[in-house]
Chains A and B, each alone.
Chain A
Amino acid sequence: MIKQITCYGDSGIICDFGDEVKKEINIKVIALFKILQQKIINQEIKGIKNCIPSYNKLIIFFDLTYTTSKKIISFVESIAKEQVNSFSENKQWMIPVCYDKEFGIDQQRVADYTKLSIDTILEKHLNTTFYIYMLGFAPGFPYMGDLENQLYCPRLKTPRVKINRGSVIIAENFCAIYPYDSPGGWNILGNTPIELFNQDSSNPSLFSPGDTVKFYQISKDEHQKFSMKEFLRNAS
């Protein structure tokens, strides 16, 4: 399961699950992450301050006041054995996206690079069930894969100073959504009116690692009239 556990400074360890960016590997990372979160809530282990899943690694940050890397490593080794892949809590999201030209300013660039028509690109984008490998970079920002190789398009050489909140973006084999206005170099295909992150909400981040996302197309008018409240009511 875990290929290797190494120290990361005096207050961290890295659980390495293998070299590749692959859903099968990430599922194992998230399974261990969820077990650990549960053990932390049940106070079966002291001193862990953050568990951070990424594509192929789980990094654990702890407080030296209460524990040491030796203790954390032996704890992780002991629970890695009993690990099971239970994924009942993972959510499947249907996310609205508007591909109006006003939003999707990089559709032509992607078409030129991939030699596909814009319609084909959008159809492929709509037909993909995306898997959330991890959240990071900004609060609630999802790294979603895998975009099929035909849609592979590199990032912009010069990042834009401002990309609008809700922008649905692709680069290489990934798709993401900007929770806020932000600088960035990904290709913008469209925009979603969804609110991905709100620190005042009881459930601040809409997505969790391991959730899946499928997009459905809405018009500019529907984008404007979209209600997050209604969306959440229907989603629950």
Chain B
Amino acid sequence: MPHSIKILREGISSSFQDLGRYNVQYLGIGPSRCMDDDNFKLCNAILHNDENEGMIEFAYQGPKIQIDQATVKICVTGNVLFTISNTKGEIVQGQCYRSYYLVKGDVIDIQSVKDSVYGYLGFEGGINLKQYFQSISVNPRSKIGPNNGEKIKNGDLITLKQSEASKNVFALSRAPENKKKSVIRVLEGPQLDYFSNEGIHSFFHTDFKITNLTDRMGMRLEGKKVELIKSANIKSEGIIRGSIQVPADGQPIVLLSDHQTIGGYPKIGVVITADYNQLIQILPGNLITFRKVNIREAEISFQLKEASLKAMIDSMVKIN
């Protein structure tokens, strides 16, 4: 099969992702999963793809790609600056949350994200990739997934499932607002009794800085030491996305989509599902605070978030 697009520049951290790989964590295989479910789902919705169709996730600076087949339809979601240029040298500034009908020779240059970390580039019909355990998500640390479990590299040739695109293009009339969030809601973690009262108090009442040691696996925070009263080791147990563990140095780490399958540090909190997407979009260097909520608030917030996502998808209109 001939390839459809060529990677001219890989970007800082670009990889194939979908909604994750499940029912194999007991074998030591983590769920992976796109970092921002909402932008992932919106991208597929705008392209009329299945909700879980795989696409390219990028961070900070995205890839630059060239269209090598007759026609392709793409969409970019997130808060992203990008351009589309053609063989005549004409360049247009791209808009997120709308699809583009592109032809051979066109180049998409995803220059950077704005006040955020992750963005998505999807293709109508999806990318032709082999699924591993029912998912195309790539985990480069454990070498799981298609593309030999590796990130996207300069010169990679990618084949799409569709060799030509449909002409109509669509856009959301109501796109996500780029509101900045600094308060992240969490539920109490399973090892709260490992921490001193002071430690718990400083965790819920002081600011933490997101450090540069943050990637798809974890977000390392820096702030007032969260004091432990027991050993900093527990019997290793299964890990869930959004868990906040505290090693002996008292500096919390939020475990993100590429987390290990089991872990042995006590967990003081767990980020609620409704706030996860917002957390991972906050740039390193910013301050965040954690607010304790109960499970009822967490569940209601999730339903509200899903309703708002659905309203955005319902706001989609054909633009030509």
Residues of A within 8 A of B (CB): 6-12, 14, 21, 33, 37, 40, 49-59, 61, 64-65, 68-69, 134-141, 143, 180, 197, 199, 204-205, 208-209
Contact = CB atoms under 8 A, between A and B. Distances in A.
- Chain B interface size range: 35 or more
Interface stretch (B24-32, B120-128, B200-208): B24-32
Contacts of A52: 25-26, 237-239, 261-262
Interface in B177-193: 187, 189-190
A50 B262 contact: no
Given A8-B270, A139-B144, A53 B26 contact: yes
A54 B306 CA distance: 32
Given A10-B299, A50-B31, A137 B271 contact: no
A37 B236 CA distance: 21
A57 B27 contact: no
B88 interface: no
B237 A59 contact: yes
B76 to A, nearest CB: 25
A136 B260 contact: yes
Residue from B149, B236, B272, B298 with most neighbouring chain A CB atoms (10 Å):
B236
Contacts of B240: 8-9, 11-12, 59, 61
Interface string B238-258: 111011000000000000000
A53 B235 CA distance: 12
A138 B238 contact: no
Interface of B: 20, 22-29, 31, 132-133, 142-145, 149, 187, 189-190, 235-240, 242-243, 260-262, 270-273, 295, 298-299, 302, 306
Residue from B24, B26, B31, B132 with most neighbouring chain A CB atoms (10 Å):
B26
Given A40-B23, A137-B260, A69 B295 contact: yes
Contacts of B24: 50
Contacts of B237: 14, 52, 54-57, 59
Given A9-B242, A10-B273, A138 B28 contact: yes
A126 B293 CA distance: 52
Contacts of A14: 190, 237
B179 to A, nearest CB: 22
Contacts of B149: 199
B25 A50 contact: yes
10 closest residue pairs by CB, A with B: A52-B238, A9-B270, A59-B238, A136-B262, A10-B298, A49-B22, A50-B25, A54-B237, A205-B27, A136-B261
Given A49-B20, A205-B28, 9 more contacts: A11-B273, A33-B26, A49-B23, A50-B31, A51-B23, A55-B237, A135-B28, A205-B27, A209-B26
Nearest to A136: B262
A136 B142 CA distance: 11
A137 B190 contact: no
Residue from A9, A50, A61, A136 with most neighbouring chain B CB atoms (10 Å):
A9
A137 to B, nearest CB: 6
Contact of A137 (B133, B262, B270, B302): B262
Contacts of A61: 25, 31, 238, 240
B187 A7 contact: yes
B238 A54 contact: yes
